Every structure is written in structure tokens, then in C-alpha cells.
Amino acid sequence: MSCSLMHLLEEDDRTFEMDDYAGPVARWCSGCGDHSVLTSVQRVLAAADAKPERTVFVSGIGCSSRFPHYLRTYGFHGIHGRALPLSTGVKLSRPELDVWVVMGDGDCVSIGAGHWIHAVRYNVDMTALMLDNNIYGLTKKQTSPTTPQGYASNTQPYGSWLPALNPLEATLGVTNASFVAQTAEWLPAHLMATLQAAHAHEGFSWVRILQRCPHFTADLFGDVVKDPSRVELLVHDERGIQAPALDRMIEHRVTHDPLDLDRARELARPSDRIRLGLFYHDPSLPRYEETRELPRHTVTEKMALLEQELDRHAV
């Protein structure tokens, strides 16, 4: 990049509105929670004046993984379960980019489970969203790892045999986890506040977003949406998620310091209420890009190395 271009980028004082990030009209089903998440993400980008040409959304396969198509930023629609290694490669090779990852429950904690665990441990600076509707939606109602035990699907019509995997407990058990939060798409004030906190964190931000699927799991969160007493917020005056719009709506709250990992693990266990908030946040933990010196090559050097590698396989 030339010095003059670098200077122009540094002097860039553009401001952006939500419409600046809007791509084609989203083709998710009416009532799908993905719409709410997309709107909140656009609001977060606008509030941060994120430069579209420096913002990248990476996804795998699933309903939620169509996310990059509906944003006017860079995007990479990868393959099933591989969004995290793809996004890690993007961030390590282009550290100046703002990298987001969007995955479904099957995409992240089933076929992508190995990548999920190691992405948490690497703690590379990016924002990872797991949209959890408790089912494989794109492929029409197959049991996923987060499907409740006993819930009938097309692959287990007599009900899921196993207890549901708890992604919060699993993530909090990984070495070097630095930001773990849970929110819900039907509470836009909490959703946006959580995404803003995740985006501001320098490290791997992992956010589980509970999400309604109007076709296949509409009954799972239906009662919770109608009855706010089924929700409990984790709050902390200094380090928690701040969503004052919910002060009158959500009665049940528990004070929790996100620096307390043991307490976070306790609160992540299943209870009679759905807990939303920042479970754990430690910005002091080492990031992979800080602990490893990565090579930096010019475009010419990269092409020469690529040609050299290809020559090795010539017949």
C-alpha cells in the first residue's frame, strides 16, 4: 500500500448510517430471529462508524450463515463448521480488519466443535456470534447438539435421546476464554448492548444468541417471550451489560462480576430461568497474535512464495 493511500485512510473521517451496511433484502422466513440479529449488527457497525471496506463477516453453513450476503461489507461464506479457522486466517493475515463470525448451533458446536474449542483458546481478536435455535433449520428439523432432551425432530421422531449440550459451560471450561456472553434476539436492547460490548473487547468475543425458529422450534422460546419472569439478567455496575431499557421489563436479576470465573461457571448451569448477560470477561488474557510473531510479506514476496510452493508439485 502506498504512503499516499495510507495517509488517506488515516485521515478518513467518514461517518456511516445503518443503510450504509444494508445489502440485499434478507430471505429468511418471516419471524426468524436472524432478522433481529442482522438489524442489531447494522446498528452496532453504524454506532462504531465501522468502515465497510475494513469489515469482514465470515460464516459457515446454515440459515444464519447467509449473514454475509445481507451486509455491504466484505464477506466469506465458508463450508460447514469451518467459519472459525477461516476467520482466524483472515485476522492473522490482515490484523487491521474488523472480523466477525456468524454460526448456527450445529455449525459451531457439532461439526465445528474442534475449531470452536481452539478458537476460544487462541483468543484471536474477533467477534463470534452463535445463533442458537436448538435445531438444524436449513436442512429441515434435524436434532442438533443443543436440542432439548425429548424434543422430537425428523432425525429423532421419538425425541432427542441425549441431554442438550450447554455451550456456555463448555466455552467457560476452555483455557484462555476471555469474553463469554449470552443474549436473546427478542430483547433488542440487551442484544445490541451485548454486541457492542463484544465488539469493543480486544480478544475472542464469543456470544451465544438464543433465537426463535418460527417453523421448527417456535414452541421452545414462545413462553419465555410472553413471560419476562422466565428471564434473569446478570448485572454489574462497572463490568456488566448495560441495558437500562429493560429495567422495568425484567424483574429477576443477579449481581455478577464477570471477572469471577468460578461464579460464571455456576451461573452457566441450567436453571428454571434463562440467564442473559456477560458471564466472563478478562481482557488481560494473551491473544495469539501477541504471543506469536507472524511473518509479514509484501505482495511480490507472497507471489514468489506461492510460485515456489506450486513448483514443488510440478510433474
C-alpha cell at 125: 481478536
Percentage of the chain exceeding pLDDT 90: 72
The pLDDT score that the predictor gives to residue 2 is 47
Query: What integer best gives the mean pLDDT of the chain?
Result: 91
Q: Is residue 299 part of a domain?
A: no
When pLDDT is averaged across residues 187-193 and rounded to a whole number, the result is 96
The pLDDT score that the predictor gives to residue 293 is 74
Q: Is residue 271 part of a domain?
A: yes
Q: Is residue 308 part of a domain?
A: no
> Tens digit of pLDDT for each residue in 246-305?
999 999 999 999 999 999 999 999 999 999 999 999 999 999 988 877 777 788 888 998
C-alpha cell at 183: 443474549
Instruction: Reduce the secondary structure of 246-306 to three states and give it as a string.
Output: HCCCCCEEEECCCCCHHHHHHHCCCCCCEEEEEEEECCCCCCHHHHCCCCCCCHHHHHHHH
Tally of domains in the chain: 1
Domain with 169 in it: 15-287
CATH number at residue 130: 3.40.50.970
Q: Is residue 300 part of a domain?
A: no
Q: Is residue 303 part of a domain?
A: no
Higher pLDDT, 71 or 295: 71
Q: Is residue 301 part of a domain?
A: no
For the entire predicted model, the pTM comes to 0.89
Chain-centroid distance, C-alpha 172:
15
Q: Is residue 220 part of a domain?
A: yes
- In angstroms, the CA 101 to CA 57 distance is 6
Q: Is residue 252 part of a domain?
A: yes
Q: Would you say 114 and 83 are in contact if contact means Cβ atoms under 8 Å apart?
A: no
